[in-house]
Chain A
Amino acid sequence: MAGRVGIVAASMTKFEAAKPYQHLMDLVVEVTDKVVEAAGINLKDDVEAVISCSQDHWDGRTISSMPIPDAVCSHLKDESKVAGDGAYAVLYGAMHILSGDNKLVLVVSHCEESITDGTMIENWSIDHIFHRMLGLDYTMGAAMQAKRYMDKYKLTPEQFAKVVVKNKGNARKNQYAQEAMDLTIEQVLKSKMLADPITELQKKPVSDGACAMILANEEVAKKLTPHPVWITGVGNYYEAHNPGDRDLVECAALIKAAQKAYKMAGIGNPAKDIDLVELSEYYAPQELLWTEGLGLCGRGEGGKLIDSGKTQLKGELPVNPSGGLLSGIPVTVAGMTRVAEAVWQLQGIAGEHQVQGARRAIAHGCGGLCGQMHCVLVLEKGGK
C-alpha cells in the first residue's frame, strides 16, 4: 500500500434483539459521539469525510441522506454511502485516505433488523427472474452450503454446533454482545430446525445496533493515539450470485481475497502469523468454511480445526473471541464490527475477551447468498 492507513478508534452500541426507543438516527448519533470522544477529536472541525453504510431494504426507505447527515454532522461536507457490508465501508474509507484527498474519515454503519421481517428482505435480494418465487432466503442458502460441506468434506452437525457453543460462550465476556449463552452441543442440535442441518441456534439472531470508527493517514493517526492500528493488507473479491454457478464449498472469492491481503501484508503462513481472527459467520457452518478459505487450515479441515480447540478464546488462534455474529450483530454492521473488535484487541482494550499480546489480526466481512462477496483486512499494531 502507498502510505499507511491507521484506525484511531472504534465504537459500538450494545447489540439488542430490538431497540424500540431509538430512531435509527439515534443509534448513529450514539456511536458517532462515542468514537469522536475516544479519538479525542472535534466532529465538526476534524472529520473531513464520512462514509455511511446501510441497506435501503432493511431500513425501509431509499433515503440514507435523511437521518445520516444530521447524525454524523456532514452538513456541507463530503459524505457517501456503501450499500453493503460494513467491511466495505472501512475499505472505502481507507481509499479516501490513500487518495490523499482526506486526512481523517469517519465510517459508520447501522441496521435495525427488528423493524421488518428479515426473511422477506433476504428473499428480496434473490434473483427476481428465476429464483425469488421459489422461497429462497439466506438460511436456505446456508443449509445448501452446509449440506455440500458435509457431503464433500464429511463435516458433522456436532462440529457446526461446537462453533455456536464457543461463540455464544465467548459472548459472555463481551459487554456489547446480545446473546451470551452457556450451551451444550446437544442443546444447539436440539433447538428448532430451520433448514437441515441449520438449527435456530446456528443462525445469527435478529439484532439492532450500530458501529463507527475513525480512520486517518499515518501522520494524523500517530498524533491522535499512541496505539494506532494499521491496515496492512486488503483483499476484496466477488463471485457469481447464483449458487448454482459456483461450488458452495470452494469459497473461491474468499480464498482470493485472503491471498491478496496476505501478500500485501507480507504474511506467508496465516495460521502462524496471525494472532486472532474476527470473521463473519452468519451461520455456524460458515465459520468452519471461512477458516479454510482464510487459509488457517487445509481444505476440508475446518471441522478438525474446531475439534482441536485452537480457535477457542484461550487457544493458539482464537476465532471470534468477541462471540462473532452468532452472538447477535445486524447485517451491514456485521463486517465493521469485525474490524472494530480486531482494533480493540490490537489496542489491548477488548476487555474480558482480550487476547494477550495480540499484534496482528484478520477482520473479515462478507455478504450475499452463501457468501457471494468477501473482504479480508489484515490489521497490525506498531511497525515502522
Chain B
Amino acid sequence: MKAKTQEELIYLNMTMKVPYKWRTGETMGEFFRELKENGIIYANQCPTCGRHFCLPKSVCTRDHTKCTERSKWIPVGPKGTLVTYFMAEQSFLLPTTGEMLKIPFAVGIVLLDGAAVILQHQLEETDTEKIKPFMRVEAVIKPKEERKGNIYDIVHFKTIHE
C-alpha cells in the first residue's frame, strides 16, 4: 500500500471537560482561610523536626508526624528570598482556566522569611536582566474584598531593595 501523507488521515477532535471540587482539608483550608480573611501567610510546624512549612503540610514528609497543632502556626513573610526561577517565553492554554497564559511571565521559588519549605509563585518582574538569585522579594496581597481563598490571593512577588 502506498504510504499516505498526514493530511489524508482522519482525526477526531474532542475536548474533555470534567468538573472537580477538590477538598483542601483541615490544614490547607486553614492556610487559605487566614490568607483570605486576614491577608496573612502562615506556616505550620512539624513537632518532631521543628521545621516550618509554607506551603503547609498535614504530616511531615520526613518524620510522618502530624503538623495540625494550630498554636504552632506562625505568620511568615511577606518578605522572602528568591531561590531560583523560570521565565516563560512560550504560552499555552491553561486547562484550569481555558485561557492562554500571558507571556512573558516568571515563576520563582521563594523562601519566605521564617519558613523552611518554599513557595512557588509568579514574580512581578519579567525582565530577566533584573532577576537575580537570592534577591529580596515581597508578596503582594490582594485587597480583602477581592480575596477568594486561593493562591491568587497573593498576586505575585515584587522585587524589593533593602
Contacts and interface: CB of A to CB of B under 8 A. Distances in A.
Nearest to A114: B21
B58 A23 contact: yes
A21 B66 CA distance: 16
A101 interface: no
A25 interface: yes
A73 interface: yes
A124 B16 contact: yes
Interface stretch (A3-11, A115-123, A352-360): A115-123
A73 B63 CA distance: 7
B98 to A, nearest CB: 16
B12 A128 contact: yes
A21 B60 contact: no
Interface string B47-87: 00000000001111111101000000000000000000000
Nearest to B68: A26
A247 B125 CA distance: 62
A57 B18 contact: yes
A70 B61 contact: yes
B59 A117 contact: no
A283 B58 CA distance: 36
A20 interface: yes
B61 A75 contact: yes
Contacts of B12: 128-129
B45 to A, nearest CB: 15
B5 to A, nearest CB: 21
A26 B20 contact: no
B22 A69 contact: no
Contacts of A112: 23
Contact of A44 (B20, B21, B64): B64
Interface stretch (B25-33, B126-134, B142-150): B25-33
A22 B29 CA distance: 10
B14 interface: yes
B25 A26 contact: yes
B25 A116 contact: no
A70 B18 CA distance: 27
A150 B64 CA distance: 52
B20 A73 contact: no
B38 interface: no
A24 interface: yes
Contact of B58 (A25, A117, A129): A25
B25 A121 contact: no
Contacts of B60: 70
Contacts of A383: none
Interface in A137-157: none
Contacts of A121: 18
Interface in A64-86: 69-71, 73, 75
Nearest to A25: B58
Contacts of B62: 73, 75
A12 B21 CA distance: 23
Given A44-B64, A129-B12, A117 B18 contact: yes
A60 interface: yes
Nearest to A116: B20
Contacts of A128: 12, 14
A112 B26 CA distance: 16
Interface in A13-37: 19-26, 29
Which 4 residue pairs are nearest across A and B when measured between Cβ atoms?
A23-B25, A73-B64, A60-B20, A70-B61
Given A21-B25, A132-B14, 4 more contacts: A25-B59, A57-B18, A71-B59, A128-B12
Interface of B: 12, 14, 16, 18-28, 57-64, 66
